[in-house]
Amino acid sequence: MVNCAGIASIGKAADTTPEEMDRIYGVNVKGIYHCIHFAIPKMIEGGGGAIVNMASMAAKVGIQERFAYSMSKGCGGVDDPVGG
């Protein structure tokens, strides 16, 4: 299973509303959780599988005018602790 969804918005920290942060995190962070939560029981039932969570270089270096996106993609590199 590959988690590769992501949405972004234009804005700096001071311009980003709590609602916009919730929208971005709802897809970029919670979307990862929802996919993993659904996939793990199916993988166990099927005898195994693999989960790949795609992040972004924005998680490491940030992108100007993409505050919420850059923050949320830092949460995407959660491969190590996922385990069933």
- The answer to whether 69 is a known catalytic residue is yes
- The strand ranges marked E within 1-84 are 2-3, 52-53
User: What's the longest Cα–Cα distance across the chain?
Assistant: 48
For residue 11, list its beta bridge partners: 66
Catalytic residue among 28, 69, 71, 76: 69
Q: Please give the positions annotated as active site.
A: 69
